[in-house]
Structure 1
């Protein structure tokens, strides 16, 4: 391989690495429900916000009282937990958004139906 080609590959890899790191560094962090945290009537909290893939949602709540379940749109609409759904229970969960639809519910009985759910479309 020629020295010029080696330098070109090195520069390309370096630039790509810097772009990836700068994209991660610019990710926004959102606390779901703001100061009130992940609680009843949080539905609609996401309105007016612009989310991107890589942004982080922070769910603050009392673990004995709530949880966070990552679900698809169908489970979000029906307030059900599909088999194999990821359930978070720490009370200080940090979840990175993926491109497209991101839906979350609390699956404690009656909580989702009472407004403990959000649906976010990340660009």
Structure 2
């Protein structure tokens, strides 16, 4: 039988560190998928992309593809020569580093028709405080829930 200590430890850890394994999978364009004449700026506007999250591009592979490009190629809809194209129709791109990311469709005219996505990826860990005082990064609700786990487990 599992000891109470193990249950308490895992219970508290899961409450205090809930984002440790909570990468989000974003389906680009939601139900519309990756297509022309869609407002990807509006789609991405209220989303927070973090390192470790995943973008999923769903599209008809005979008609579209995905390229990760730089800001100039994005703005001008330039398909760089010899650039790797994602072309499976169900491409998954893990966001491995923070910063600005740009994606376009490399099929002629599609980028100009709005098939392009620009996002900013944030680091999963917030920057460390600049002062010598280090705050405990737990919210009140996390501490409260951890206390409930302890009390319930002790009564078991």
TM-score (norm 1): 0.77
Unaligned runs of 5+ in 2: 1-16, 123-156
Q: Which of structures 1 and 2 has the bigger CA Rg?
A: 2
The residue number in structure 2 matching 1:111 is: 110
Matches within 5 A, 1:7-86: 23=20, 25-40=21-36, 41-44=38-41, 45-86=43-84
- In the alignment, the residues of structure 2 paired with residue 33 and residue 43 of structure 1 have an alpha-carbon distance, to the nearest angstrom, of 7
Unaligned runs of 5+ in 1: 1-18
1:82 deviates by 1.8
Aligned pair count reads 102
The residue number in structure 2 matching 1:8 is: none
Structure 2 counterpart SS, 1:88: coil
Cα RMSD, aligned residues only: 1.6
**Alignment deviations for residues 9-61 of structure 1 (CA, whole Å, 9 cap, x no partner):** xxxxxxxxxx9xx74x2211000000110011242121111111111000000
Runs of 4+ residues over 6 Å off in structure 1: none
- In the alignment, the residues of structure 1 paired with residue 28 and residue 90 of structure 2 have an alpha-carbon distance, to the nearest angstrom, of 11
TM-score (norm 2): 0.61
Higher relative strand content? 1
1:70 deviates by 0.6
